[in-house]
Amino acid sequence: MIIVMAANVPQASVDRVVSEIERMGCKAHLSRGTFRTVIGAIGEEGAIDQHRLTTLDGVEKVVPIMTPYKLASREFHEEDSVVQIGGRSTPRQLVGGKHALSIAGPCTIENREMLWRIARHVKEGGATVLRGGAFKPRTSPYSFQGLGEQALQWLRECGDELGMPICTEVMDTRQVELVNQYTDMFQIGARNMQNFDLLREVGKTDKPVLLKRGLAATVKDWLLSAEYVLSQGNRAVILCERGIKTFEDSIRFTMDITSIPVARKLSHLPIIVDPSHAAGRRDYVGALACAGMAAGAHGTMIEVHYCPAEAQCDGPQALLPETFASLMTQLRLIAKLYGREFPN
């Protein structure tokens, strides 16, 4: 249910509605727009007395949210959400609305020296958030699984030194506390998009969550996963389209360009694209990144390596640093054309 307050109502009226919602055993989530406040009342079906809420001072209307996801919906929050990443030990970066974001770095952190080398390259190329895997979801249990906490330490040190917020994957509820000590943003991988306990756990933190779309998830499934995070009080969710399984086998996954306008219509959350994991090979990464930005994405996540042939993981899709830099030049132009801007 959403409770739309009349324009410019006093705070006391908002507080009154909130306490009434809580008295009904539900949770109240506030969305403050430019002109009015909307209150989301979330709880078990039937718990909310719609008529009672309608009679309260300052309430303009009470309307049910028809979509199964509530806090993620445009009905609840009409304007694009802008999410802040970093701002503690690094400058902050914004994504959503007119703010575009470029995340780049290696698939996995192989050693300290390679991380620094790639980080310097991607910063120079225009990336503003540094990525790197410390815990890797590998198809085979015998493949390299990541260097764990040691890699997190290197990533933190490197991000701080270069002034870039960092983003890394968390795969399990048991890792959330540890990863939270280091990262500026949690990445939930495609294979964990419906790990509901994990979603709840990152939802209890105050760090942004980059939520990759599952390999076989519909946009609705994806938004319901975002809802798990939002329902815990964490409002900083960024969607990431990274390709889905289709019958097409000339590429690793099919990047679903359509999901970008669809998700943007249904939801206020920022959405970026990861063309690297979709394509699985570097020669298609540029085209997909450009298409994603033109379709309305708020940015990209791209894997880069100076020597892809020797990469421990995902070498075939890694861009060389110079290719990444020239792609960023193109992406800046496309973003501008569509009313969005990368910070540099």
Q: Would you state the structure tokens that stand for residue 281, as one six-digit string?
A: 């090979």
- Choosing from 40, 133, 292, 321, the residue that interacts with ligand PEP (CB under 6 A) is 133
252 binds ligand PEP (CB under 6 A): no
Contact region for ligand PEP (CB under 6 A) — 38-46, 59-67, 183-191, 333-341?
Answer: 183-191
Report the residue from 107, 170, 219, 327 that binds Mn ion according to the rule CB under 5 A: 107
SS3 string of 36-51?
Answer: CEEEEEECCCCCCCHH
Q: Map the footprint of ligand PEP across residues 136-155, applying CB under 6 A.
A: 137
> How many residues belong to the site for Mn ion (CB under 5 A)?
2
Question: Of 287, 289, 282, whose CA–CA distance to 319 is shortest?
Answer: 282
Interaction mask 208-247, ligand PEP, x per CB under 6 A? ----x-----------------------------x-----
Q: Which residue lies nearest ligand PEP, judged by its C-beta?
A: 189
Q: CA torsion, points 136, 140, 141, 142, in degrees to nearest 10? A: -100
C-beta of 76 vs 154, nearer to Mn ion: 154
**3-state class (DSSP) for residue 322:** helix
Q: Is 192 helix (H, G, I), strand (E, B) or coil?
A: helix
For 231, left (φ over 0), alpha (ψ -120 to 50), or beta?
Answer: alpha
Q: How far is the CB of 145 from ligand PEP (least distance, A)?
A: 12
Angle at 171 between CA 124 and CA 29, to 5 degrees: 90
Binding partner of residue 189 among ligand PEP, Mn ion, none, CB under 5 to 8 Å per kind?
A: ligand PEP
Q: Token digits for 105? A: 């770095």
Contact 13, 39 (CB under 8 A): no
Scanning 36-44, 71-79, 106-114, 174-182 for contacts with Mn ion by CB under 5 A, the matching segment is: 106-114
Residues at the contact surface with Mn ion, assessed by CB under 5 A:
107, 314
Residues at the contact surface with ligand PEP, assessed by CB under 6 A:
107, 133, 137, 189-191, 212, 242, 274, 277
